[in-house]
Structure 1
Amino acid sequence: MGRFGRLETDVHIRASALKFHEIFHKRTHHISNVSADKVHGIDLLEGEWGKVGSIICWRYFHDGKARVAKERIEAVDEENNSITFAVIEGDLTEKYKSFKFNIQCIPKEKGSVIHWVLEYEKLHDEIPDSHSMLQFCVDVSKDIDAHLMEGSEEP
């Protein structure tokens, strides 16, 4: 008991849900340009950008250390602007048997809400919930929003 965890939060942004979703879905590799202090690089290892089953390697800086996560795109729902990544290798697997990131971009009258859900199974009960990873996701979301609102988005 206590090994399974779920953290969620909403990030209110000014950019449209469609544009934000497009970054995570089809232009994931641009996140390292937008949030360079947190995400050092994103590489496509197998498949195609945005396609279910594709494997992506994230190089990022979290909790004071350079880290790596290899993730599989598990689900994409273009109608609801959501995407799910499942970690298959990397630093998170040192503490978690499984770890998933689900991002849903919900349009609002002004801007949108980015709903993050982190679901995981810890290797043992002493591992704390990953609040710092949730905060990392919030911070990257804010960087992407600032970029989209600058109008400097590449065509």
Structure 2
Amino acid sequence: MSLIEKLETDVELKGSAEQFHEVFCGRPHHISNVSPAKIQGVELHEGEWGKEGSIICWNYVHDGKAQIAKELVEKVDPVKNLVTFKVIEGDLLNEFKSFKATVQATSKGNCCVAHWTLEYEKLHPGVSHPEALLEFAAELSKEIDTHLTSAN
């Protein structure tokens, strides 16, 4: 039985795909200003914001607990408004052998869709699927969108 899994969801947003991508890829350290209840801070540990190979550390609250995720920015595609983060240290690795999160924003008329993909390998069959984390990402996307569209 394979412990490698994938979860996906789409989140309809009112803002532009480019604006949404710019926040997640180029300015994730601003997200704590938009959603302080979820994201306490994002720090650049190595490289440059929005560049492949950079290492960033997220301090966030999930299910009422403070969590940390140190991530490698594995892929950035500004044409497709896509960024992939690979967890290299932190709380997620207590339950998962590997964990990647990809978000791609695609234009849809006057708005866009943020497509989230979580790819992970559980340490053992008793580990739950991270549906709550996928919902966390969807809610965070909506909060960022609200911030972006109310600022205009």
Aligned to 2:142: 142
What residue identity is the alignment partner of 1:147?
A: H
Aligned to 2:123: 123
Deviation of the 1:2 alpha carbon: 4.1
What residue identity is the alignment partner of 1:105?
A: A
TM-score (normalised: structure 1):
0.96
Shift in CA distance, 115/54, structure 1 to aligned 2, threshold 3 Å = same
SS in 2 for 1:42: strand
Aligned to 1:20: 20
Query: What is the alpha-carbon distance in structure 1 between the residues aligned to residue 104 and residue 142 of structure 2?
Result: 15
Moved over 6 A (4+): none
Query: What is the alpha-carbon distance in structure 2 between the residues aligned to residue 137 and residue 79 of structure 1?
Result: 22
Deviation of the 1:110 alpha carbon: 2.1
Aligned to 2:101: 101
Structure 2 residues without counterparts, runs of 5 or longer: none
Moved more, 14-23 or 2-11: 2-11
Structure 1 residues without counterparts, runs of 5 or longer: none
Query: What is the alpha-carbon distance in structure 2 between the residues aligned to residue 117 and residue 97 of structure 1?
Result: 17
Aligned to 1:31: 31
**Cα RMSD after superposing both structures:** 0.8
Query: What is the alpha-carbon distance in structure 2 between the residues aligned to residue 103 and residue 2 of structure 1?
Result: 24
Deviation sequence 1:114-140 (CA, Å, 0-9, x none)? 000000000001101000000000010
SS in 2 for 1:23: helix
Query: What is the alpha-carbon distance in structure 1 between the residues aligned to residue 7 and residue 86 of structure 2?
Result: 15
What residue identity is the alignment partner of 1:98?
A: S
What residue identity is the alignment partner of 2:3?
A: R
Paired residues for 1:59-70 under 5 Å: 59-70=59-70
Deviation of the 1:7 alpha carbon: 0.3
Aligned to 1:40: 40
Deviation of the 1:28 alpha carbon: 0.9
How many pairs were matched up? 152
What residue identity is the alignment partner of 2:143?
A: D
Overall identity of the aligned pairs, in %: 53
